[in-house]
């Protein structure tokens, strides 16, 4: 992600590492079960920042290889005709990521690439995948998006288009399954969540879910409200994820440490609480920027006081995800855009 916000990764793959960061507060989620990547070492925003080989970190997640440091979490599995990848990091880091990835998997080409959404943090390997004649799976919205020049409130300047050869070759409006290296892989649309074309990818045999853009654990999952992401779809997507997971499912977020299915359910409850609060604040006349201040404790006095829950005050998630201002502003703005007849 670009932007002038703090995207310092605060999470940790290990409870022992995260405990000092959290102080006395109970962590929102218990720990990342498979120790490996220390996300606290990833300390800078990724926007077009070229990283070095040591910045590409990896760990095992239920037998899948997880790579971090190239712009987003990238999940990979080896097959006899090449690698299956879910997402690809930023293009500027593609050579280093591929080196680490093929080195670990013993593969030489990308066989199948799934784009969980169209943002440049995710689609940076699409050109390589195109040259490898890989199958590129995505939501149809993602295929259309990478074929255009777009703007997003999450990134500076314009994005795309990707060349024809780098665009998805197999798209869905809803869901699909395929077999890779003898196991079933499922994907499904998360409607209107982080963008208009989010997919999750689920490996049932391994009980591993790659959740895509709506789930982040080192920052707030800011939604792209100009490109189909909005709070209604976001909370609905958390319902779908919560229905899918078991408490011990390993959940790989778009960025940040691996969490469990039980953690996703906790996040769902928090986001629903915020969503319901928004409608009270609409009626009191608060704007998108006021909402962050209200949640932080500022009183807004009109004819009558505002009586609404403030679910974030004192919540341990603040220590794990940092300042929620931009998330709240974009989430509230998206709710206004989708709800109020301006």
Which residues sit at the interface with Zn ion, rule CB under 5 A? 119, 213
Looking at residue 26, the DSSP 8-state letter turns out to be P
Contacts of 141 (CB under 8 A, 6+ apart): 118, 195, 196, 197, 228
Q: Which is nearer to Zn ion, 14 or 126 (CB)?
A: 126
DSSP one-letter string for 237-263: HHHHHHHH--TT-EEEEEES--EEHHH
- 333 φ, ψ (degrees, to nearest 5): -60, -45
Task: Rank residues 11 and 213 by Cβ distance to Zn ion and give the closer one.
Answer: 213
**Minimum distance from residue 127 beta carbon to Zn ion (Å):** 18
Q: How far is the CB of 81 from Zn ion (least distance, A)?
A: 29
Q: How far is the CB of 159 from Zn ion (least distance, A)?
A: 11
Q: Which CB sits closer to Zn ion, 34 or 229? A: 229
Q: Considering beta carbons, is residue 1 or 245 the nearer one to Zn ion?
A: 1
Q: Which two tokens stand for residue 302?
A: 């009109």
Q: Are 204 and 184 in contact (CB under 8 A)?
A: yes
Q: How far is the CB of 221 from Zn ion (least distance, A)?
A: 9
**Through-space distance between the first and last CA atoms of the chain, rounded to whole angstroms:** 30
Nearer CB in complex with Zn ion: 31/211: 211
Residue 88 or 213: which CB sits closer to Zn ion?
A: 213
Angle at 193 between CA 206 and CA 310, to 5 degrees: 105
Query: At its nearest, how many Å lie between Zn ion and the CB of residue 119?
Result: 3
Contact status, residue 5 vs residue 326, Cβ threshold 8 Å: yes
Minimum CB–partner distance for residue 2 and Zn ion (Å): 11
Given a contact cutoff of 8 angstroms between Cβ atoms, the answer to whether 320 and 22 are in contact is yes
Looking at the Cβ atoms of 171 and 227, the one nearer to Zn ion is: 227
Quote the least distance from Cβ 68 to Zn ion, whole Å.
15
Q: How far is residue 94's CA from residue 128's CA, in Å, rounded to a whole number?
A: 8
Q: How far is the CB of 194 from Zn ion (least distance, A)?
A: 5
| Residue nearest to Zn ion according to CB distances in the complex | 119
- Alpha carbons 31 and 15: distance in angstroms, whole number: 5
In the complex with Zn ion, the residue whose CB is nearer, 31 or 223, is 223
Q: Closest Cα partner for 79 from 5, 179, 224?
A: 179
Closest by Cα among 245, 299, 247, 295 to 275: 295
């Amino acid at each position: 992600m670009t932007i002038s916000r703090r995207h310092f990764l605060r999470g940790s793959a290990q409870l022992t590492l995260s405990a000092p960061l959290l102080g006395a507060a109970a962590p929102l989620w218990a720990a990342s079960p498979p120790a490996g990547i220390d996300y606290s070492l990833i300390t800078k925003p990724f926007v077009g920042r070229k990283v070095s080989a040591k910045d590409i970190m990896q760990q095992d997640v239920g037998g899948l290889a997880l790579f971090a440091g190239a712009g987003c979490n990238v999940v990979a599995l080896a097959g006899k005709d090449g690698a299956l990848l879910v997402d690809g990091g930023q293009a500027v880091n593609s050579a280093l990521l591929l080196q680490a990835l093929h080195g670990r998997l013993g593969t030489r080409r990308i066989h199948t690439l799934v784009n969980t959404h169209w943002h440049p943090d995710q689609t940076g390997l699409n050109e390589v995948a195109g040259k490898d004649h890989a199958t590129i799976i995505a939501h149809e919205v993602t295929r259309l998006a990478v074929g255009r020049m777009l703007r997003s409130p999450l990134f500076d300047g314009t994005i795309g288009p990707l060349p024809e050869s780098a665009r998805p070759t197999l798209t869905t409006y809803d869901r699909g399954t395929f077999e890779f290296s003898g196991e079933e892989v499922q994907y499904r649309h998360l409607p209107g969540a982080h963008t208009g074309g989010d997919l999750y990818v689920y490996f049932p045999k391994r009980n591993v879910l790659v959740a895509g853009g709506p789930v982040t654990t080192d920052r707030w999952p800011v939604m792209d409200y100009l490109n189909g992401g909005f709070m209604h779809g976001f909370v609905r997507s958390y319902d779908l994820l919560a229905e899918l997971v078991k408490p011990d499912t390993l959940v790989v977020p778009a960025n940040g440490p691996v969490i469990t299915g039980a953690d996703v359910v906790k996040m769902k409850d928090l986001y629903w609480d915020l969503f319901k609060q928004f409608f009270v604040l609409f009626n009191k006349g608060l704007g998108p920027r006021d909402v962050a201040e209200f949640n932080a404790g500022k009183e807004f006095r009109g004819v009558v006081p505002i009586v609404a829950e403030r679910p974030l005050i004192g919540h341990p998630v603040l220590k794990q995800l940092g300042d929620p201002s931009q998330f709240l502003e974009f989430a509230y703005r998206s709710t206004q855009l989708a709800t109020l007849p301006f």
